[in-house]
């Protein structure tokens, strides 16, 4: 036989096989449809509610107010998700929405409840908004539950918790940043004050040696050197005048001495003093005082003698003019006058010399002091630069912290007034109409495949166990002889009645199978709850 004939015979054989074994296909298929519908109705349904939240940027431009919370959206949402998944928050959610309050969950441990609740909550960053904005600045809060009302309420509650926690978190970060900067600012302010005190004490301690006083010290030093030169010139002039006065005094005393009678050959200095008048003794005392101090023995002796003569003259009346010789009296008077004038001039010169010496010593000391200050100025400049550098660094840090503190305070006010970045719900969770689990379309396809596959498996098993020959090519292979003719089956009236009954039953079973398939499809694509509600309404009518 040709390949086309063999193929037609094979197709006919399979059609005959299906017709002959039709109950092994129809019955498992109908049972599969019934089981599928029962599963669609009885399996626990899980509904999913989704809340879409948009991350709204801050309303004040960042150029005006720099935000203190600069972490990316994914990091902050991850942090908030961890807060939501915490034990305390999940327990609060369970208490608020009466989760796991049914009898089936009464025997569950708290850890199992928490783990089950964590699996139901899901946060998807940017997934819900990409169809609208093609951006990742949004996220969705998804919650699954067997009760659609509970799924909707919990999803909206979790979204509200996200919004509230974001506000608290941002405000907390802003306040914490402000408090931290405030503490650092106070610490830096104390350091700045300490550095200012150190700088002040350094200036007070080294006054006159500071770098900014160098020019002044140099000018003062030049002025002092000029003064020293003038004082030294004045001192030399006074000394020259004193030497000239003493020379003139010696010459005049020699001239006066020539007018007086010469002393005896045995006269000594002590005897000459005994012969001197009171005025001469005073003149001599003045001359000694010009050269010696009051503690010198000669000065003390002359003072004692002068004192004794003054007492004697006070007790003895003055002598008559007749007792004094004319020439000697005149000489002594001239000598006394000369001595008095010289002593006065010498005293003035000696005072001037002492004053000039004191001025020279004072100016010299000031010159040494200013030279020491000028020499110490470079060292003080280095020390002052070190202190100033530390002061400037601390001051710069303080100003920077102060600026940041002001910005942080503005950011705190912005967050408290809710002008910063916010989470805004743009799609609230609505009541889910269809469950996401079980997947009814997938269940529908699996059920159809299972029904047909189970019938095909039964047919294959029966055909494998059946040893009868039902194909012509198989018969020729079995007997090894060609088939000459075939005798068709002869149907009696009873066979025809049975055939009609079987065909009617087959038709009814096919109709039932189609009805079950249609009912299952209605459950799948119209929704179980909607279909059942429609059935209840129809039955009630």
| Predicted local confidence at residue 322, as pLDDT | 42
Q: Distance of alpha carbon 331 from its chain centroid, rounded? A: 106
Rounded Cα–Cα distance for residues 90 and 45 (Å):
22
CA distances from 40 to 143, 146, 240, 514 (A): 22, 14, 140, 17
Q: Which residue has the tokens 């050959």?
A: 265
Q: Which two tokens stand for residue 127?
A: 């997934």
Rounded Cα–Cα distance for residues 199 and 474 (Å):
119
Q: Which residue has the tokens 């199992």?
A: 112
Q: Is the Cβ–Cβ distance between 419 and 428 less than 8 Å?
A: no
| Predicted local confidence at residue 204, as pLDDT | 86
Q: Which two tokens stand for residue 354?
A: 């002492």
| Predicted local confidence at residue 143, as pLDDT | 92
Q: Which two tokens stand for residue 454?
A: 């189970």
Q: What is the largest CA-CA distance in the chain?
A: 220
Domain ranges of the chain: 3-43+438-540, 47-186+412-427, 213-406
Closest to 53 in 3D by CA, of 77, 82, 75: 77
Burial 282-292 (b: 16+ CB within 10 A, else e): bbbbbbbbeee
What backbone torsions phi and psi does residue 488 show, to the nearest 5 degrees?
A: -70, 160
The tens-digit pLDDT sequence of the chain (541 residues) is: 444 444 444 676 677 777 777 888 888 888 988 998 888 888 888 888 999 888 877 767 666 666 666 666 777 788 888 888 888 888 888 888 888 887 777 778 888 888 988 888 988 886 444 444 444 578 888 999 888 899 999 999 888 888 888 888 877 888 888 888 888 889 989 988 998 898 888 888 888 788 888 888 888 888 888 888 888 888 888 888 878 877 777 776 666 655 555 544 444 445 456 556 666 777 777 777 766 677 777 777 777 778 777 776 666 555 444 444 444 555 555 555 666 676 777 788 788 888 888 888 888 888 888 888 888 888 888 888 888 898 899 889 889 888 888 888 877 777 777 666 777 888 888 888 778 878 888 888 999 898 888 888 888 888 777 666 666 666 667 676 776 777 676 767 787 788 788 788 888 888 998 998 888 888 888 877 777 777 777 776 5
Residue 134 zone, left/alpha/beta (φ > 0; ψ -120 to 50; rest): left
Rounded Cα–Cα distance for residues 434 and 149 (Å):
12
Closest to 123 in 3D by CA, of 81, 173, 69: 81
The whole-chain average pLDDT of the chain stands at 77
Q: Is the Cβ–Cβ distance between 117 and 124 less than 8 Å?
A: no
Contacts of 325 (CB under 8 A, 6+ apart): none
Query: Fold for domain 47-186+412-427?
Result: Alpha-Beta Plaits (3.30.70)
| Predicted local confidence at residue 433, as pLDDT | 79
| Predicted local confidence at residue 84, as pLDDT | 83
* Residues facing residue 143 across a β-bridge: 49, 121
Which strands sit side by side in the sheet containing 422-427, from one edge to the other?
A: 121-125, 138-145, 47-56, 422-427
% of the chain at pLDDT higher than 90 = 3
């Amino acid at each position: 036989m040709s390949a086309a004939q063999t193929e037609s015979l094979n197709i006919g054989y399979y059609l005959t096989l299906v017709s002959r074994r039709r109950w092994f296909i129809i019955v498992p298929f109908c049972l599969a449809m019934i089981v599928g519908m029962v599963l669609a109705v009885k399996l626990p349904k899980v509904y999913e509610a989704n809340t879409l939240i948009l991350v709204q940027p801050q309303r004040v431009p960042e150029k005006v107010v720099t935000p203190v919370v600069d972490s990316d959206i994914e990091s902050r949402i991850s942090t908030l998700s961890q807060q939501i998944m915490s034990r305390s928050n999940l327990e609060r959610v369970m208490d608020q929405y009466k989760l796991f309050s049914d009898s089936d969950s009464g025997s569950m441990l708290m850890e199992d409840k928490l783990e089950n609740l964590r699996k139901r909550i899901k946060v998807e960053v940017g997934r819900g908004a990409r169809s609208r904005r093609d951006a990742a600045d949004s996220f969705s809060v998804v919650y699954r539950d067997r009760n659609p009302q509970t799924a909707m309420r919990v999803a909206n509650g979790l979204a509200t918790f996200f919004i509230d926690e974001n506000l608290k978190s941002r405000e907390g970060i802003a306040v914490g940043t402000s408090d931290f900067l405030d503490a650092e600012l106070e610490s830096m302010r104390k350091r700045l004050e300490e550095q200012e005190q150190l700088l002040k004490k350094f200036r007070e301690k080294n006054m006159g040696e500071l770098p900014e006083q160098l020019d002044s010290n140099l000018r003062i030093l030049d002025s002092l050197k000029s003064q020293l030169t003038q004082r030294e010139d004045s001192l030399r002039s006074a000394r020259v005048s004193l030497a000239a006065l003493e020379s003139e005094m010696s010459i005049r005393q020699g001239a006066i001495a020539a007018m007086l009678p010469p002393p005896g050959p045995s006269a000594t200095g002590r005897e000459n003093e005994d012969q001197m008048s009171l005025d001469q003794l005073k003149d001599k005392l003045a001359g000694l005082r010009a050269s010696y101090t009051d503690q010198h023995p000669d000065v003390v002796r002359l003072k004692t003698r002068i004192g004794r003569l003054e007492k004697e003259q006070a007790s003895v009346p003055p002598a008559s003019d007749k007792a004094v010789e004319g020439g000697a009296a005149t000489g002594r008077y001239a000598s006394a006058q000369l001595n008095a004038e010289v002593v006065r001039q010498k005293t003035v010169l000696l005072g001037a010399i002492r004053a000039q010496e004191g001025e020279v010593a004072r100016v010299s000391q000031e010159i040494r002091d200013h030279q020491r200050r000028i020499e110490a100025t470079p060292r003080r400049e280095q020390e002052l630069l070190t202190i100033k550098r530390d002061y400037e660094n601390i001051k710069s840090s303080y100003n920077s912290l102060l600026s940041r503190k002001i910005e942080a305070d503005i950011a705190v006010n912005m967050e408290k007034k809710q002008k910063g970045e916010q989470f805004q719900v743009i799609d609230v969770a609505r009541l889910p109409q269809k469950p996401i689990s079980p997947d009814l379309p997938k269940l529908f396809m699996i059920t159809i495949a299972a029904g047909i596959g189970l019938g095909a498996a039964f047919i294959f098993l029966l055909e494998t166990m059946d040893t009868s020959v039902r194909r012509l090519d198989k018969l020729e292979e079995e007997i090894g002889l060609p088939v000459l003719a075939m005798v068709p089956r002869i149907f009696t009236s009873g066979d025809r009645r049975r055939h009609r009954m079987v065909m009617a039953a087959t038709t009814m079973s096919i109709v039932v199978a189609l009805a079950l398939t249609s009912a299952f499809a209605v459950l799948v694509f119209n929704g179980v709850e909607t279909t059942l509600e429609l059935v209840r309404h129809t039955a009630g009518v």
